[in-house]
Amino acid sequence: MHDSPKKSPLSVGRVLCSIFGHRFIVTKKVTAHIKEYECACCGKQVTIDVKGNLASLTPQLKEINETLAMLHQKKLAQTHHHPAA
Ligand SMILES: [Zn+2]
């Protein structure tokens, strides 16, 4: 059972990634600090989680990011005039 069906043409990219590391490009800006990335080589999707760590982009994290992005947009809309401290 060695010849598994070639469903992923990206396996070469994966090998390269395991040697050289991923080449992440930003796919979505969530907030000033949080972005979603995708590897240009193998297509792996990651994001920065709330703790600042690079994490695999799971459906849950995607949802969290969407919520964060929404809050971030609201915040931006409110920063027009902030009270003088
Ligand atoms: Zn990669």
With tokens 């080449």, the residue in question is 23
CA 46 to centroid of ligand 1, rounded, Å: 10
CA 12 to centroid of ligand 1, rounded, Å: 10
pTM: 0.71
Number of Cα atoms under 13 Å in the Cβ half of residue 73 = 7
Amino acid identity, position 48: I
CA 39 to centroid of ligand 1, rounded, Å: 5
CA 33 to centroid of ligand 1, rounded, Å: 22
| Tokens matching residue 68 | 């964060």
Helical (H) or strand (E) element with 12 = helix 11-20
Could you give the strand order of the β-sheet that contains 24-29, starting from the edge strand earlier in sequence?
24-29, 35-39, 45-48, 54-56
End-to-end CA separation in angstroms for the chain: 69
The per-residue pLDDT string of the chain (85 residues; one tens digit each, 9 = 90 and over) reads 566 555 555 577 788 899 999 999 999 999 988 999 999 999 999 999 878 899 999 999 999 999 999 999 998 888 766 565 5
CA 23 to centroid of ligand 1, rounded, Å: 6
